[in-house]
Chain A
Amino acid sequence: SSNDFFSPQTFHSSMHVTQKLELFPDHRLTQMLFKEVKNAAELRQSAMSGKINGALINPTMLVDPFQTLVAANKAVSLQKTGKMKTRSLYSEIIFNLSPTNNISEAFKRFGISDDNDSVLVALVHSEDESQLLTDIAAMVTGQQVPVEDISSLTDQEKIKKLYKITAQEEKCGTLLDAVVCRMATKDVM
């Protein structure tokens, strides 16, 4: 409905989702999802060289776009206090998704690999940057689909194993709850 376009909190186009980071009023997170991706290797190269200024995430490790939002909020917060564990905001987002403090493992699991056929692109930006989105979408050889479709790509069993979600824990909340809680508390566990 047209109301969605004027929601102050979340902007849903038919495809991407842009959300505010309330703690950082001039920062927004935009997520875009692509399926049937043919050029994952090239995209990964572009991200490493800085040609793509965004996080390229393996969508099979995401239960919900909320996971990326939680990771991005933490990354921006740590960037502003100079306490990031990795070299850039976008690598920090990928690192924050992981339940462990092992950086290379985080990239292996949550970053994209050359043989991935789907990718979630996460961008932190200041205002509506439709040009930026168009430019990045143009680099992907694949089909853009609504971000909400992520649940059809989720590998639940792999996620439960990686985050070590207990059966008891699943009884008291959703898988997303369990995952987000691990992400937010990993520094002290």
Chain B
Amino acid sequence: MCSSQSRGSERRWTEVNMTQGESMAVSEFLARAKLIKQGAEARVYRVEFLGRPTIVKERFPKRYRHPSLDDKLTHRRTVQEVRSILRCRRAGISAPVVYFVDYTSHCIFLEEIVGSLTVRDHIISIQQSNSCKMLQLDQLAEKVGQILAKMHDEDVIHGDLTTSNMLLRQGMQSDLKAFLSTHPNTEVLFEKLLKSYAASSKKSSAVIKKLDEVRLRGRKRSMVG
């Protein structure tokens, strides 16, 4: 549409120079941002971006890996996360909106689910309260089961399904195993979750069979250790 005369070597120089400039722009921006979580693979920041409350997830280099391999793997992880988010949304699971992805600094800029609570924190607070505990937990387990079934029907594999990775609003993401291990006495609840999963899923039988295998292994180990 708009004309732009190529300025030959001058332009090329500018681009090379700008590559560094841009990385600096993102890192300068994040240097001023509020870090909310430092994980093993990524740092999570809370910022204002394009005028909106935004979460930035920055996958940082792992120094023990060869730089070019590291960059490739980090890029792949970023792409996988972006794809999963869109596939979830298409399936009607309200994963956060992606605003921008910077594949140079491996940053994903996401809608902040304002006022959200991780399922983990929610369970802890339910367990500490004294009213309608079982009812609330039942409803939660049922909801998680439904969402998981929906995700798996769309072949979205979360990869790190833990209660810290599910946010409560209307939508959640989420780990079956972690659900068992991090919260004591959740066996009954877990059965509820599975029932709900089976009722919602189009292909639950294979998944539940696999899970039974995993749990059996878990029991054996705990009997030994």
Contact = CB atoms under 8 A, between A and B. Distances in A.
Interface in A144-183: 166, 168-169, 171-173, 177-178, 180-182
Interface of A: 9-10, 19-24, 44, 47-50, 52-56, 66, 69-70, 73-74, 77, 79-82, 87-91, 94, 107, 111, 166, 168-169, 171-173, 177-178, 180-182, 184-185, 187-189
A181 B98 contact: yes
B2 A88 contact: yes
The SS class assigned to the B binding surface is mixed
Given A81-B18, A107-B1, A172-B92, A188 B82 contact: yes
Contacts of B98: 180-181, 184-185
Given A172-B93, A180-B97, A188 B79 contact: yes
Contacts of B18: 79-82
Contact of A88 (B1, B99, B101): B1
B83 A19 contact: no
The SS class assigned to the A binding surface is helix
28 contacts: A19-B50, A21-B50, A22-B47, A22-B48, A22-B50, A23-B29, A52-B2, A54-B2, A73-B50, A77-B100, A77-B102, A79-B18, A80-B19, A80-B22, A81-B15, A81-B22, A82-B16, A87-B2, A91-B1, A111-B1, A169-B89, A177-B111, A180-B97, A180-B99, A184-B98, A184-B100, A185-B85, A188-B83
Given A80-B25, A172-B93, A181-B89, 16 more contacts: A24-B25, A50-B3, A50-B4, A55-B2, A56-B1, A73-B50, A80-B19, A82-B15, A82-B16, A82-B19, A166-B92, A172-B94, A178-B89, A181-B97, A181-B98, A184-B100
Contacts of A55: 1-2
- List 7 A-B pairs, minimum CB-CB distance, nearest first: A168-B92, A82-B15, A172-B94, A88-B4, A80-B22, A184-B98, A90-B2
Given A82-B19, A188-B82, A47 B1 contact: yes
Nearest to B89: A169
A163 to B, nearest CB: 11
A107 B98 CA distance: 24
B59 to A, nearest CB: 15
Interface string B161-201: 00000000011000000000000000000000000000000
Given A73-B100, A82-B15, A88-B1, A171 B86 contact: no
Nearest to B75: A188
B86 A189 contact: yes
| Most chain B CB neighbours (cut-off 10 Å) among A55, A77, A89, A91 | A77
